[in-house]
Amino acid sequence: MAVDAARLAYRKWRLTPAPKRAEILFRAAELLVKRKEGFSRDMTREMGKVLAESRGDIQEAIDMTYYMAGEGRRLFGQTTPSELPDKFAMSVRQPIGVCGLITPWNFPMAIPSWKIMPALVCGNTVVLKPAEDTPLSSYNLVETLSEAGIPPGVVNLVSGGGSGAGAPLAKHKGVPVLSFTGSTTTGRIIAEKCAPDFKHYCLEMGGKNIILVMDDANLDLAIDGAIWGGFGTAGQRCTAASRIAVHKSVCKEFVARLVERARKLKIGNGLDPAVEMGPVINEQQLDTVMSYVEIGKNEGANLLTGGRRLEAGEFRKGWFHEPTVFGECDPKMRIAQEEIFGPVVSVIPVDSLEQGIEVANGVAYGLSASIYTRNVNGAFAAIQDLYTGIVYVNAPTIGAETHLPFGGTKQTGNGHREAAVAAIDFFTEWKSVYIDHSDKLQRAQIDNN
């Protein structure tokens, strides 16, 4: 039913002038600004991250909606001289149709906005399937778009699990475009379902991101970045810094200070302004985190702090896990190779920048990496040699902005990018147009040799 509604609405929506489509998005952004605080509190109650992070999530949706509203007057093509006389050549963008959007629970409004807004401004219609853990935030976004003037059927929300809602959406023959954010395992299944019909599909998947801390780094800044990168959103970000490669000459001091800071983090209800880290999303994810802690111990990593579920007192009614730091990790250990998606950080000593880059690139993923250094030559060497979609210098692995492409290499994605003009590229097809006003047959290269 949702796909049928989207297909019917597409007939008129694709013919609505792009600037008019954009005006609706602008109104939606204005409404999101007014409702930011209420939506933020809904989000914290729904998925647990601290209120400041929920506000950031809503702000990202606001930013993306404003940005894509601006693109309504910038869906540029190209004009180019023809190789023949009295002939005009240009290219234009065209929408594709119904877009199936499958989004995760960790950014339940920001990530849907990354997909919905460019799809809409390009003239497509959408069917959104949010994560079953966080339907409310996606409902709030869709309801806001409706109130801003999006016509019926243009944006459709379908709740449910992966097998009951996500898989049917991915293989539906009336959905030529599929955009997915989630695990690499599920992304592979999505790709298999899309391939037989040659659908357009964008996969934004896992990460095993690294912070490189060099011997000349500002350690105060690096510690701040490591704490935020490793334990923000309880480590439940695709860009979380779950590995830290530290130059051996500063490793002892860095680790001691990192452990001290991790132990002092206040954990609890995200609605409490004093809380710095909330729970993980559900019991299954908590079990995964706890299993990786045991894997790390069995591999011989040195558990420096954390490693336990919090169950006493206020923690009895939630899935809380201590911020956890492993030291003296070998880069080939599973805890340093596999995505955990929880508050677990592995520290890997390295002898040099070159070794750090080798460690950084030695995983199956390639989303985000960062380096802390005061050496401009080293910073640019890292920018050049880190095989990731995102690189930060003197900042953690999280903090992407809406006007630059977001995505990664290797098993992080399939080559497409979210946000910025890259999203416009994914949600449109190019059409080349030739207008011959010579009033005679011209056969291109045949008549031009």
Of the candidates 280, 281, 278, the residue with the CA atom closest to the CA atom of residue 269 = 278
Q: Give, for 152, the enclosing helix (H) or strand (E).
A: none
**Dihedrals phi, psi of 393, to nearest 5 degrees:** -115, 125
Q: Catalytic residue at 46?
A: no
Structure tokens belonging to residue 266: 């206040």
Structure tokens belonging to residue 118: 């460019």
CA distance 334 to 339: 9
Q: Catalytic residue at 204?
A: yes
Of the candidates 386, 201, 442, 240, the residue with the CA atom closest to the CA atom of residue 324 = 240
- DSSP conformation class of 272: S
- Collapsing DSSP to helix, strand or coil, 256 comes out as helix
Of the candidates 371, 413, 359, 373, the residue with the CA atom closest to the CA atom of residue 389 = 413
The one-letter code for the residue type at 440 is K
Of the candidates 37, 18, 170, 191, the residue with the CA atom closest to the CA atom of residue 99 = 170
Burial class of residue 376 (count of CB atoms within 10 Å of its CB; 0-12, 13-18, 19+) = exposed
- Collapsing DSSP to helix, strand or coil, 380 comes out as helix
**What are the E-state strand segments in 340-379?**
344-350, 365-366, 368-372
- Contacts for 296 with CB less than 8 Å, ≥ 6 apart: 303, 326, 329, 333, 334, 335, 344, 346
Q: Which of 204, 276, 322, 418 is catalytic?
A: 204
Q: Which of 99, 122, 202, 238 is catalytic?
A: 238
- Catalytic center residues: 204, 238
